Amino acid sequence: MPVFHTMACNETPTDMLVGLNSSDQFADSTFTTLPIPLRLLLALIMLFMIAIGFLGNAIVCLIVYQKPAMRSAINLLLATLAFSDIMLSLFCMPFTAVTVITVNWNFGAHFCRISAMLYWFFVLEGVSILLIISVDRFLIIVQRQDKLNPHRAKVMIAISWAFSFCISFPSVVGWTFVEVPSRAPQCVLGYTEFPADRAYVVMLIVAVFFIPFSVMLYSYLCILNTVRRNTVRIHNHAESVCLNQVSKLGLTGSQKPHQMNVDMSFKTRAFTTILILFVGFSFCWLPHTIFSLMSVFNRQFYYSPSFYVTSTCMLWLSYLKSVFNPIIYCWRIKKFREACLEFMPKTFKIFPKVPGRTKRRIRPSTIYVCSEHQSAV
């Protein structure tokens, strides 16, 4: 199984391969750390990320829990994604922030294994939920099949938790060689030459990034093509209606028929929100994926003096996704934004609440369909 570890600054590659901790035998391996002011700044930013990630995602979970009207399939998935980000913010990021400052792991070897398992566990769960959401949007928009209901969403959520646990569990039961980190601010995938270890690392990376990225990319390309095609059909039909009005009424040049304004924003806004989440996932995890593969397969990269600095930056970028999601929710989803204002204390409410327009509930798949006899839904 893979090597979730980092070598001590005084440990040689030979000792690492045979699983020995010889911190009192060798003292010739060094690594470069960040300057103290930069470490403090990075730790403060991480603490701010923890606060935003916890509070923002907690509001999402609270909204879905307290409001029965918000417990649709997609909102249950978004709440689960928020919960996995909360767990990542609470059980992984604080220890990384402390280690960034001290450059030493002060939480014991056993918790090192646990932290490695929790990190990949919560990351896998978040990626699985994004994958489920993407497939659901593909079925609704491209296949015109609205199959995901709250009950099925709960079943898929349970399966995703079980799958994530099975993939990430080996590091905590001793199936992997996990060591107190000193070449990185937390336990990371380290260099190994054992084929079984490398095979597991490849399986883990494929499950975390490559399969979800490929499926989501294909789904979104198909969705974009479908939305573009339907948009063209709607506008072409609107123009043909205007031309028919001209020919039937015999309007002069100074008289113009009523222009039909077709607003497509409400048709694509929900999909655009999920697409932005996908872009954020790709931006935060593509560098970390490349970093993890190079750590396992490239001995020169793993033992380079700059590995600590590189691992710190890559881990910080991967944690950024847990902060990215609630910001997108507040920016893109009006109901979540209004619910956030309801949870805010009254003393912080500056502007009075303006009643919004009530819209009729329709099937999600119908808003992306346009027949020859309708100009807008």
Nearest by Cα to 189 from 163, 207, 209, 171: 171
Nearest by Cα to 313 from 46, 94, 111: 46
Look at 171 and 91; give whichever has higher pLDDT: 91
User: Can you give the pLDDT at residue 209?
Assistant: 92
CA dihedral (30, 35, 36, 39) positive or negative: negative
- 132: three-class secondary structure by DSSP: helix
Instruction: Give the contacts of 111 (CB within 8 A, at least 6 positions apart).
Output: 95
Domain positions in the chain are: 13-248+262-343
User: Can you give the pLDDT at residue 376?
Assistant: 33
Across 80-84, 240-244, 355-359, least confident range: 355-359
Nearest by Cα to 333 from 290, 276, 373: 276
Look at 133 and 3; give whichever has higher pLDDT: 133
Give the global pTM.
0.76
User: Can you give the pLDDT at residue 244?
Assistant: 63
Across 74-78, 130-134, 291-295, 349-353, least confident range: 349-353
- pLDDT band at residue 325 using 50, 70 and 90 as cut-offs: confident
- pLDDT band at residue 84 using 50, 70 and 90 as cut-offs: very high
Across 3-7, 121-125, 131-135, least confident range: 3-7
Q: Which CATH architecture has domain 13-248+262-343?
A: Up-down Bundle (1.20)
Look-up of token digits 């497509």: 264
pLDDT tens readout for residues 101-113 = 888 888 877 888 8
Size of the chain, expressed as the number of residues it contains = 377
Question: 189 pairs with which residues across the strands?
Answer: 4
